[in-house]
């Protein structure tokens, strides 16, 4: 059996450095990578979300994190949404909040189907 090839997306320093590690260290690295993936895939605590975010159940959602319905401002200072009053804000829209490199991020998913 020959040594497997690293994924092309793996940075050169890892692709060259990992094969130099002993088996025990590779197992520790594997455990670390699995723990890191689990950390990044965990849901975001509701107390970390913006006040206007309302968590929703998304049984068929792709990806990890927490899916919320959220009303937002458009950034136009002349729009009535700039007041910050939820009744004047746009939406609700679906967003996914997740962690990446230890930082909470969000991505737009779309309008809820029931809206």
Per-residue pLDDT of the chain (115 residues; tens, 9 = 90+): 998 999 999 999 999 999 999 999 999 999 999 988 877 776 677 778 877 788 887 544 556 778 899 988 888 889 988 887 878 889 899 998 887 777 888 899 888 876 5
**pTM to 2 decimals?**
0.57
CA separation for the pair 56, 5 (Å, rounded): 41
CA torsion 70-75-79-85 (nearest 10°) is: 40
């Amino acid at each position: 059996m020959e040594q497997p090839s690293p994924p092309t997306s793996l940075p050169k320093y890892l692709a060259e450095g990992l094969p130099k590690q002993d088996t025990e260290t590779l197992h520790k690295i594997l455990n670390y990578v699995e723990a890191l993936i689990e950390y990044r895939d965990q849901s975001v605590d509701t107390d970390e979300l913006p006040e206007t975010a309302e968590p929703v159940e998304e049984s068929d959602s792709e990806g990890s994190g927490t899916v919320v319905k959220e009303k937002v401002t458009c950034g136009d200072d002349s729009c009535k949404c700039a007041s910050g009053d939820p009744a004047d804000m746009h939406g609700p829209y679906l967003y996914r909040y997740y962690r990446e490199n230890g930082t909470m991020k969000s991505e737009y998913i779309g309008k809820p189907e029931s809206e």
